[in-house]
Structure 1
Amino acid sequence: MNASDFRKRKNNIIKNLDNTVLELQSGANELQRVAHVLSNTKETLDDLDMAFCKKTGLNEIDVSFLFLAVGLQIARQYLLTKFPKRLGDQEAAKLAGAKSGRNIGRSHRYYNPSLEEIINNPVPFDANIGSNGALKGGGFMGHRVTAIGHDPILGLIFGTANIATSTLTTATLESYHIYTNLNNRDYFKSNARTDLVLKYTFDKLLNEGMEGRVKVATSLVKEIVHLKSDLNTKNSLPLPGVSLINPGLASDLAKYGFDMANVVTVGKQASYSIMINSIIAMIHRLFFVGDSDMDLKLHEVKTRKILSYSNLIASTSNLAVVAITEDMKLLDLGGLGVTIYRLITDRKFIKQVKEEFIFGSYEKLITNG
């Protein structure tokens, strides 16, 4: 090895040593930085917590959305979804357009009334004269739970078939031919077969041309109008399907407020509340400013705060009004259910995003500096 090669090799060794020293120094600095971060973990996490609160706090625009949401929910509670006044049967029938009087009577051909009879006579499953115990067991709701034509769901099948065939089918699925007496009152004439009630109805629909289809369609419309007329009466309608299992149970449930009118109202309250929440959320989304997934999540936290706060304020004010007025018809039960659901789910979401933000940022401090 000559002198030139020796010097070159020496210089390479020195250069490598310098690089190694620099790397060791850099590593030592990084260890010192990480150690500093770790030693100040509590303060760092507190700072990140404050940063999260600051980023998700409601600004002036968000507060405007909050007041808008509260106003819409309160307006909805008292203008659109309060419990309706219960009416008498005749008054409700008149408002719904249902025919309640006796008109042309039933000349009667078994299972095959004329279209004129279907249109002008009352629904046959309101008959009770001569029932001889066929409608017993209905409690205070009477034939509303023992005549299956009054079931809000099953009635669309059996009630329509009863109208189309001038029959009455009970909750035990026994059927009877309904006639009109000399006093123009409907009464139980004789036993009918439930299978034939359905068979003749489907025959009208499928095998009797336009005339048969018009009869069934008219019967269905008449059934819907009748259910609507009974819905907000004092006894209302039973919960779907319960009468078929136990008419007495359906009556007892209605006695404690579990009837179709209340179910419809509570469902309306909940659905309208959810609709308002969705509209507010969609519009608030248009005000998002950011370019990362975390920015979007932080914006959604603000949205959920707006919805939770507005629902809570509206429900609290509603409970206060009900307590002061002692008027249970003002109770926003469906909206209260939505509020409870939002408080649970929104709190869970906010907690998850907060943990992701804090610990994600903390991890970045350790790994990236």
Structure 2
Amino acid sequence: MGYEELVEKRKVLLADMDQDAAEAKCGLEETRKLYHVAIHTREILDDLDQQFKEKTRLTDEDIAFLFIAVGLQVMRQYLLTRFPKIMDDKTAAKRTPGHLEEHSDRHHRLYNPSLAEIITNPVPFDAMVGADGALKGGGKMGHRVTAIGHDPLLGLIFGTANIATSTLTTSSLASYHIYTNAQNVDYFRSKARTELVIGKTINKALYERYEGKAIVAASLAKEIIHLHSDLYTKNSLPLPVIPVLNSELAGRLGSYGLHMANVLAVGKQAAGAALINFLIATAHRLYGGNLQGREAKCYEVRTRKIVSYSDAIATGSNLVATAVTRDIRLLDIGGFAVTVYRLITDRKFIRSVKEEFIFGQYFDMVRGEERR
């Protein structure tokens, strides 16, 4: 081997040694960094936790959104979605749009009352004279449970058919012809066939000419008006379908306050609260601009804090106001349910973002990447 070859080999060996030394030095530096991170993990995590708190703390602008949200929720509670005032049957009927003064005077043709008779007579499923036990089992709600024409859902079918055929169908799906006696009071005259009650109504709607179609249309309109007039009375209306499945259960639920008036009121409260939450959250997100990555998620935490805090404040004030005034109509049950839901789901979201923020940055440090 010549001198020149030895020199070249020496250069290669020295270069390899330099590279190995550089890699060893780099590895040593990484080891030192990992060691530093490892022994200071507690302090680093505490620092990152504090950073997260600072990034998700509500600003003055956020506080403004919070007060607007609380104001809107309070206005909704007392102006838009409080529980309705309960009226007696006659007062409710008079206040119902489309209500007419009615009197019983049925010139009976089996399953085929005239249009004028349908318009001027009360609904046949309010008859109780001569029921002879056919309407038993409704508890305190009485015939509102056992006469299926009062069902908020099935009544649109059976109640309409009853009006169109001058009959009454019970929650057990037995039907009766309703007549008017000498004292102008509706009463149970004889049994009818439920399949004919429905079949005759379908025939009027589909196959008869103008009068048949007008009878069904008028019957449906009268059914809707009647349901509306009964809705905010003392016994209100039962929950849909339950009377057919178990009339006694429907009656018990109604006596506990689980009837349509209260269910609709609570539904309006919940829908109103959720709508305000959506509008506030959307406005706050738009105000934040086009953020990306962890900054966007931290901003979302602030948005959710605004919504949760506003719901909690509004619900707390509502409970206090209800307790002080002892007016149960002020109670915002739907809003309370939305508040509980938001507190649970938003807390879960915030915890998830916090974990991602802290441990994401911690692992960036372990990998030697810059903290973002």
1:53 corresponds to: 53
Residues 8-23 of structure 1 aligned to structure 2 (within 5 Å): 8-23=8-23
1:360 corresponds to: 360
Q: Which moved more, 1:317-326 or 1:182-191?
A: 182-191
Matched position secondary structure for 1:287: helix
How many angstroms does 1:4 deviate by? 2.2
Measure, in 1, the Cα distance between the counterparts of 2:291 and 2:194: 66
Measure, in 1, the Cα distance between the counterparts of 2:345 and 2:272: 19
Answer whether contact 2:104 2:185 (CA < 8 A) is retained. Answer: no
Measure, in 1, the Cα distance between the counterparts of 2:99 and 2:131: 22
Look up the equivalent residue of 1:70 and give its one-letter code: V
How many angstroms does 1:290 deviate by? 5.3
- Give the TM-score, by structure 1 length: 0.97
Q: Which moved more, 1:284-293 or 1:61-70?
A: 284-293
Measure, in 1, the Cα distance between the counterparts of 2:100 and 2:74: 38
TM-superposition CA deviations, 1:20-63 (whole Å, max 9, x none): 11111011011101110111000000011011111111111111
2:106 corresponds to: 106
Answer whether contact 1:99 1:122 (CA < 8 A) is retained. Answer: no
How many angstroms does 1:368 deviate by? 2.3
TM-superposition CA deviations, 1:122-156 (whole Å, max 9, x none): 11101112222211222222211111100111111
How many angstroms does 1:360 deviate by? 0.7
Are residues 1:178 and 2:151 paired? no
1:274 corresponds to: 274
Are residues 1:322 and 2:322 paired? yes
Measure, in 2, the Cα distance between the counterparts of 1:139 and 1:291: 59
Q: Which moved more, 1:252-261 or 1:39-48?
A: 252-261
Q: Which moved more, 1:117-126 or 1:291-300?
A: 291-300
Measure, in 1, the Cα distance between the counterparts of 2:104 and 2:87: 27
TM-superposition CA deviations, 1:152-204 (whole Å, max 9, x none): 11111110110111100011111111122232221112110001000011111
Answer whether contact 1:102 1:184 (CA < 8 A) is retained. Answer: no
How many angstroms does 1:100 deviate by? 6.5
2:190 corresponds to: 190
Aligned length: 369
Answer whether contact 2:104 2:186 (CA < 8 A) is retained. Answer: no
How many angstroms does 1:87 deviate by? 0.2
1:91 corresponds to: 91
Matched position secondary structure for 1:286: helix
Structure 2 runs not aligned, ≥5 long: none
Residues 11-160 of structure 1 aligned to structure 2 (within 5 Å): 11-97=11-97, 99=99, 101-103=101-103, 105-160=105-160
Answer whether contact 1:178 1:186 (CA < 8 A) is retained. Answer: yes
Look up the equivalent residue of 2:334 and give its one-letter code: G
Matched position secondary structure for 1:177: strand
Measure, in 1, the Cα distance between the counterparts of 2:40 and 2:199: 81
How many angstroms does 1:101 deviate by? 4.2
Look up the equivalent residue of 1:247 and give its one-letter code: S
Answer whether contact 1:118 1:163 (CA < 8 A) is retained. Answer: yes
TM-superposition CA deviations, 1:195-220 (whole Å, max 9, x none): 10000111111111343222212211
How many angstroms does 1:114 deviate by? 1.3
How many angstroms does 1:247 deviate by? 2.4
2:265 corresponds to: 265
Matched position secondary structure for 2:177: strand
Matched position secondary structure for 2:287: coil
Distance 1:317 1:222, change over 3 A: same
Cα RMSD (Å): 1.4
Measure, in 1, the Cα distance between the counterparts of 2:36 and 2:50: 20
- Give the TM-score, by structure 2 length: 0.96
Answer whether contact 2:238 2:259 (CA < 8 A) is retained. Answer: yes
